Structure 1
Amino acid sequence: MALSVSAAVLLGIVVIVLIKGGNVRVGSALACTLFGFTLAATGLAPAINSGLTSVAGLLSNF
């Protein structure tokens, strides 16, 4: 749970920085966010979550 909240906050900050920098427009960010919510409702969600957990575990070893 703590990992998913941290990842959500980190990715939210990245999106805000990209919008402020002009690299991503608000419409594109909204479309990506909606795609993420839709993807989380599919059968791929456990695999994606497992992959993110593995990457976080790998990064924590450094």
Structure 2
Amino acid sequence: MAITVSLAVLLGLALFLLVRLRYVGFGSALIAAAFGFFLASTGAAGPINAFADALLGAISSF
């Protein structure tokens, strides 16, 4: 049985763990999350999604 997890969920979990382990402060985490939302609404969203798809495709082929 294959389990798929959204990249947004994985990145959210990573950000949560960084805040929890105090590698990143709460303010920095809010800035990172806001940056992600604003970046998604720009023209850079398409190339970033294409890069993430290619990277995940390469990882899954191993």
1:16-57 Cα shifts (integer Å, max 9, x gaps): 111110100111010011011111111111000000000000
The two structures have a TM-score, normalised by structure 2, of 0.89
The two structures have a TM-score, normalised by structure 1, of 0.89
Q: Which amino acid aligns with 2:53?
A: T
Identical aligned residues as a percent: 44
Unaligned runs of 5+ in 1: none
Alignment length (residue pairs): 59
Q: Trace 1:18-29 onto structure 2 (pairs within 5 A).
A: 18-29=18-29
Structure 1 segments of 4 or more deviating over 6 A?
none
Q: Superposition RMSD on alpha carbons, in Å?
A: 1.3
More helix by share: 1
